[in-house]
Structure 1
Amino acid sequence: MRLMRLNREKEAVSATVAGTDDKKKEAPTRLLYGYQSFLVYRVIAVAIIFVFNVAWLIWAKVQYGIVRNIGTIQRGDCDAIENLNTRLHVVINVLTTIVLAASTTFMILAYSPSRLEIDAAHAHHKWLSTGSIGFRNLKYISREKVLIYVILVLSSVPLHLFANSAIFTTMSANGYRWAVVSEQFVLDQQGRQPIVSTTVMPAEELKSFRDVQSSVSGYARLSNQRCVETYSNVYQNEYRTVLVVTPNIRNDESFRNVSQIFSHGLSYAADNANSWICGQQEQQAANTTSQQRCDITPTNALSVLDIANFSDWKIFERTVLFCLSEPQETPCSIKYSGVIVGLLIIFTFTTLASMATILILAWKSTNKSLVCPGDAAESFLRDEDPTTMGMCLASWMNVRKLWKSPSSGKMFKAPQYRVWKGTGPYKWLCLTLIALLIVLFGLAFIAATLITARNSGREVKFFSNFGKLNHNLRPISRGSTQGELLAVAATSNVPQLVLACFWLIYQGLVSCSAYARDTARFTDDGQRLMVSKPDGEQRELWFPSLQLG
């Protein structure tokens, strides 16, 4: 009875990996099944995305036009543009994720060794890995697979760096006119009274203020606080021309029936653009020291103006009553970069061509790659390797020890390893170091922000103004050439590339742990291992596969 039970267990172990030997058991008759169909579906998905990108770029050039490789998709209210931008970036990230996931799948296929390559490595007492990506196998797999593996790795880098910058929003932050005027200037919208300026004003500029006076009815009235908070940001895009209204001069009969302009100027998006709020002309502000400069923000306005309440705001020694501001139409727009979209198309095609090549090579080759531990177990059960014969299910932790002292056979003992020991300590160390670098970089960035804000006397609000441009943000590039745009896009997306490396390592660790658990279930419970091309009662790789996603 004991002999019969041992024979049944032996047959069960063979069937769990290699499949049943019953000739009458019908194998799948489909042309594509198992892992092959999974690969083909991903090639088709990337091909559809490639065609979609090409078609979209052609349609965008015809529909929206393009100037200097920049096209405008839509102009309008900033909130509406931001909502559209969010939806478009969701689509971009979904498509990019599909391409990168497919690329990772074929990187695993290219990195996976064949049985001949494993036997050659075993002959030199070297072990290879299956079902993951890394660098160890590159020395032992074919040159074609190494080349495709490297191309897939390199082609995924631009997708991480530039995909999110293919479409971007812009805002109008052009120069605007400001003037400190009397109440009578605002009331005399018909222009019946003469305009008197306390400063020298050319006739053409005087005429432009007459036009402003006639259109005051369309201006928005802002309180002192709203006026200061709005215009303290030199990149604000809600309003343009602003009239700072002050009381009439009541002790001078000659100015009682005239519209007065006490001071005026033009402001452009620059460091000293909002110096007029403190009562400084731009030329005067440029010549002041850093201690005297009007470095005003919405959070430090009261302290910079040296007032207790915004009702006490004075400009050029005149008390401010309120502001009238000209609303700006269509201040925001969403644009696309023809160069970046073209680069994405090129690298998507490179990924697609590499995927198709490795798929054709895998299809035609008689020496199939072993893409998961189940494939390797099946191969070694069907055809033992003389180098590893008698080592049974040796792990990477004892394979070197067994190779140093070979024997005709050893009794397999299943020690109780934890799942996290399914991979080596170096990968865990690498993952930990990258995670620490990410955390340290984030903490250093926050610390630098707090220190800079403290030294400048500004208050930091991380979330209330998140994503809003203000003059405290110094642009990396002041130009608008394609080279500068690519440099800014690449620089701003470097953290995403680091996170992608972190994710790949983490994914590899999870895959190894899952394979280790699968192998443990196979040895302890007799559960069938997963294989890439299941036959009979064999288990198929997960779909979507955790290891291959």
Structure 2
Amino acid sequence: MDSHAQEEDHELMPLNNPQSASRDKNKPRLKQGRLHRWFSGARLTLALASAASILVFAFNLGFLLWVVARDRLEEDRGLLYEGDCDSVRHLSTGLHLLINILGTTLLGASNYGMQCLCAPTRKDIDKAHGKGTWLDIGAPSIRNLFHIPVKRTILWIFLVLSSLPLHLVYNSTIFPTTAAYAYTVFAGPDSDDIPAPEDIGIDGADADALAWLHTCAQNGTLIRLDVYDCIEAYAIAFQTKHGDLILVTEDVNATSEYEVVTFEDVYIPDSGVTYRGDPYEWLCPNNLTDSCSSYLPSLYSDAEQDSWVVYGNNANYTVTSCLSAPLPERCKLQYSLPLTITVIVINLVKAAILCYMSVTTSELPILTTGDAVASFLHRPDGRTLGRCLMSGEELRKIQDDWTVRERRHWPLFYMGHRTRWYSAVSRCKRVIVVILWAIALGICGILLAMGLSSDGHGVWDAEFGAINAQALIKGDNWPATLIQNTIIANIPQVVFSTLYFVLNSVVTTMALAAEWSQYAVSRRGIRVSWNPQYAQRSRYFLSLPYRFAIPLMAASAIMHWLISESLFLVGIEAYDQSFVRNPDRDLVTCGYTPVAIVSSMAVWTFMFACLVVLSCMKFASGMYVADSCSMAIAAACHPKYNPNLDEFDPRQDLHPPEGIEFMPLKWGALPVLGPLGHCSFSADEVEAPQAGRQYQ
């Protein structure tokens, strides 16, 4: 009988042993229709994963066709919306929420496909056991890739490689750009009748600015601001809706009436990794040693006391109010054609692989420890006889010589100690987790050090994701293209995704070991991924108990959001004071928010602390931890074995009761006669193993 036939036989096995028949005479046989067998359990999940990837692909392709048909491209960028900056920000938030939903759906489908590809079949396990090695069951594993068919390994690699660029570019396919204006500041008397520039002898670019103020005064659109609101409106890095300004003061020359205080071009950071200057330093005194942003509280205090003074080149002006020329907001929501095409190609690769898996999968992979227990109870692995107290940790130590005949049967003393959860994770993996955690904190610390302003304040007052003049990355060799900055802004997302993968693997391994330990405490059905029957239970959808999976996913979502607010893409389109585009002052770079960086560090530290607390919990019983090791699981599945009899003794019955895998099971010591005891999963009554007694 081939492997596929054996698996199908396992799936259709009737409960016809005498004990179950007497208790369950009225139960139907397990034979199911072919349609039900196909669309159930993990097969159904795989089909749903394929369908989800196709739906996401259809949405992405439809989006591309729609935007390309409706608008022309400029420098591989297309326009989705242009208008006020608040609307762009809200629309961007909504679309990025949708992108994250689609991305999470696609990555979730891809991860499930990777799990199915990496999970061994019983044939793979038997082959590995025959070579004296073991495979991982129920947990992500690189080890398995060397023992499964090459075709599945290649497909797994394609799914992994296609996930990396998806993390890098998907969130940046749609991005906002801010329209920033240059403006001129005048000082003048309190009058709504602003003269034309030629009437008071002002010429050049300053004349254009005063002419615009004159026009606004004539048509009644000039905005009067009190001093507090005036400071608040102009103390920003990039001016988006307020333009040329008149500071109303009595300190002007009676003959000229209107004097030029300063001209503020669209802000561009100077050379260096970070810039600590101020795009609105005209608001503050000239002799400041700190940045103007740190002086803003004093300015607001002066405004409340009507004592705000602006220091010009030729005179100082005590300001009583302001007259501001409004500007049309021209913020844009754009998309990148190359990045969108990249996402669609990645999506197509994933959808094609998942669909291929759905159609061609015939041998059922063993996805959970419950699947493995069911398989080994149905058809025991003779290579693991006499090793009932084998643990995953022991196997890692003696793997090289476990098949030597004289060491095959090891009677071990049962210690009965309840070990802690971390014992289920290999020492190497524990060290990797600590190192990666330290590296992540170190990277955050470097970014945080970059974000510290010279005065120690400044950037700390910035809101999450807000553009701050002192928190822009700019250097002589810093890339200035959209795609390069997009990749840089999303590198932390890739780093965290890698860390999350390792963290999830550790938590999954410990949770599996904890559930394994429960079988020595109470009788229960095993969790299987393929068409559960009778006492069997369905596997967890997220491979983890929900009390772990939901907090872990919530923490991951919070971390991804905090990271997106910590380092983000900044795109500025510059306009001169005549509302003409000035590409020479455009800016594409990355901004960062130190408060968000600190928050990310705090959440990551909290996650690590929770992992430490979790790993220090004790298992429910002294049952030896199998980890995810296939050999250790197989060794615990010999319910009819008597170690006091030779394997070839006619009284030795190595075949478990038919259908035992469908019954409620418990692990413990079997009632055998002789000096050596034996422990196994069993549907019959078992006893708690005795500490100090030998079991084989």
Q: TM-score range by the shorter chain?
A: 0.7 to 0.9
State the aligned residue count. Answer: 504
The one-letter amino acid paired with 2:391 is S
Q: Is the 8 A contact 2:174 2:334 kept in 1?
A: yes
Q: Structure 1 unaligned runs (5+)?
A: 1-14, 281-291
Equivalent position to 2:509, from 506, 512, 522: 512
Cα 1:208–1:168 shift into 2, 3 Å: closer
Deviations 1:451-492 (A, max 9, x none): xx2x3x3524535533221321334599999x9222212111
Q: Structure 2 unaligned runs (5+)?
A: 1-9, 22-27, 270-277, 550-696
Deviation at 1:214, TM superposition (A): 3.0
| Residue 249 (structure 2) pairs with residue 246 (structure 1) | yes
Match in the other structure for 1:146: 153
Cα 1:26–1:210 shift into 2, 3 Å: closer
Match in the other structure for 1:210: 211
Question: Which shifted more, 86-95 or 205-214?
Answer: 205-214
The one-letter amino acid paired with 1:194 is D
Any residues of structure 2 matched to 1:253-268 within 5 Å, and which?
A: 255=255, 259-263=257-261, 265=263, 267-268=265-266
Cα 1:262–1:103 shift into 2, 3 Å: closer
| Residue 321 (structure 2) pairs with residue 297 (structure 1) | no
CA–CA separation in structure 1 for the residues paired with 2:436 and 2:81: 40
Match in the other structure for 1:343: 342
* Identity score, percent: 21
Cα 1:414–1:524 shift into 2, 3 Å: farther
The one-letter amino acid paired with 1:324 is L
Cα 1:545–1:233 shift into 2, 3 Å: closer
| Residue 183 (structure 2) pairs with residue 172 (structure 1) | no
CA–CA separation in structure 1 for the residues paired with 2:413 and 2:524: 18
Deviation at 1:543, TM superposition (A): 4.7
Match in the other structure for 2:660: none
| Residue 506 (structure 2) pairs with residue 503 (structure 1) | no
The one-letter amino acid paired with 1:372 is T
CA–CA separation in structure 2 for the residues paired with 1:249 and 1:210: 19
Match in the other structure for 1:392: 388
Any residues of structure 2 matched to 1:350-365 within 5 Å, and which?
A: 350-363=349-362, 365=363
The one-letter amino acid paired with 1:328 is L
Q: Secondary structure at the match of 1:313?
A: strand
Q: Is the 8 A contact 2:285 2:310 kept in 1?
A: no
Deviations 1:246-269 (A, max 9, x none): 32657x6xx2xx653345646232
Cα 1:513–1:211 shift into 2, 3 Å: closer
Question: Which shifted more, 29-38 or 293-302?
Answer: 293-302
Q: Is the 8 A contact 2:187 2:246 kept in 1?
A: yes
Deviations 1:493-526 (A, max 9, x none): 1221122122212222232223223333334433
Match in the other structure for 2:15: 20
Deviation at 1:334, TM superposition (A): 1.6
Cα 1:353–1:514 shift into 2, 3 Å: same
Match in the other structure for 1:6: none
Q: Is the 8 A contact 1:243 1:325 kept in 2?
A: yes
Q: Is the 8 A contact 1:519 1:529 kept in 2?
A: no
Any residues of structure 2 matched to 1:404-415 within 5 Å, and which?
A: 406-408=407-409, 410=411, 413=414, 415=416
Q: Is the 8 A contact 1:179 1:262 kept in 2?
A: yes
CA–CA separation in structure 2 for the residues paired with 1:111 and 1:334: 41
Q: Is the 8 A contact 2:138 2:368 kept in 1?
A: yes
CA–CA separation in structure 2 for the residues paired with 1:34 and 1:278: 68
Question: Which shifted more, 214-223 or 22-31?
Answer: 22-31
Deviation at 1:158, TM superposition (A): 1.4
The one-letter amino acid paired with 1:34 is G
Equivalent position to 1:487, from 484, 500, 507: 484
The one-letter amino acid paired with 2:430 is W
Cα 1:269–1:34 shift into 2, 3 Å: same
TM-score (norm 2): 0.64
CA–CA separation in structure 1 for the residues paired with 2:370 and 2:136: 12
Question: Which shifted more, 271-280 or 535-544?
Answer: 271-280
Q: Secondary structure at the match of 1:397?
A: helix
Q: Secondary structure at the match of 2:293?
A: coil
CA–CA separation in structure 1 for the residues paired with 2:150 and 2:326: 64
Deviation at 1:73, TM superposition (A): 1.7
Deviation at 1:224, TM superposition (A): 4.1
Q: Secondary structure at the match of 1:28?
A: coil
Cα 1:84–1:229 shift into 2, 3 Å: same
Deviation at 1:353, TM superposition (A): 1.6
Deviations 1:86-144 (A, max 9, x none): 11111111111111111111111111122232223223321110222221112211111
Match in the other structure for 2:377: 381
Equivalent position to 1:183, from 179, 189, 195: 189
TM-score (norm 1): 0.80
Q: Is the 8 A contact 1:300 1:458 kept in 2?
A: no
Cα 1:527–1:406 shift into 2, 3 Å: farther
Q: Is the 8 A contact 1:27 1:536 kept in 2?
A: no
The one-letter amino acid paired with 2:155 is I
Equivalent position to 1:528, from 525, 530, 543: 525
Equivalent position to 1:88, from 89, 95, 104: 95
CA–CA separation in structure 2 for the residues paired with 1:262 and 1:379: 86
Cα 1:43–1:424 shift into 2, 3 Å: same
CA–CA separation in structure 2 for the residues paired with 1:110 and 1:293: 64
Equivalent position to 2:200, from 195, 215, 234: 195
Q: Is the 8 A contact 2:389 2:412 kept in 1?
A: no
Q: Is the 8 A contact 1:18 1:378 kept in 2?
A: no
Match in the other structure for 2:438: 436
CA–CA separation in structure 2 for the residues paired with 1:528 and 1:92: 40
Deviation at 1:430, TM superposition (A): 2.0
Cα 1:99–1:440 shift into 2, 3 Å: same
CA–CA separation in structure 2 for the residues paired with 1:377 and 1:264: 79
Q: Is the 8 A contact 2:459 2:468 kept in 1?
A: no
Q: Secondary structure at the match of 2:323?
A: strand
Match in the other structure for 1:236: 239
Q: Is the 8 A contact 2:12 2:31 kept in 1?
A: no
CA–CA separation in structure 2 for the residues paired with 1:296 and 1:343: 42
